[in-house]
Amino acid sequence: MDSIGLVFMGAMFLVMWLFFIRPQAKQAKLAKEFQTGIEKGAKVVTTGGIHGKIIKTDETTALVEIDNNVKIRIEKSGISMELTNAAYGEGEKKAEVVEEKK
């Protein structure tokens, strides 16, 4: 291989790392931090679309109440996001609350 081909291969690897590998690793890190930080009382949405409230958490599982006296135990990795983030997005709910207080 000549030097131009080697530079081209290096540039392709760099572009793939910047656009594919790095953002995916960042997203996985954020998801892991969210799942370990889940606390009792949080309203969440599972990856299957079930909405509920966290009743109890263990190391790897959470007990979620989805209706009165209807509880399911799921893996923390099956929890997608907090219900407020699912319904309003990041920060939009906070802006509404601040405007209502004025």
pLDDT digits (tens, 9 = 90+) for 41-96: 889 998 898 999 999 999 889 999 999 999 999 999 888 877 766 555 655 444 44
CA distance 28 to 32: 6
Q: Do 72 and 55 form a contact (C-beta atoms < 8 A)?
A: no
| Cα-based distances in Å from 81 to 3, 16, 18, 67 | 48, 28, 26, 18
Q: Both tokens of residue 77?
A: 């990795």
Alpha-carbon span 70 to 64, nearest angstrom: 8
> Among residues 66, 73, 80, 68, which one has the least CA distance to residue 38?
80
Q: 5 versus 89: which is more confidently predicted? A: 5
Token pair belonging to 18:
């910047």
pTM above 0.85, yes or no: no
Dmax (CA) for the chain in angstroms is: 70
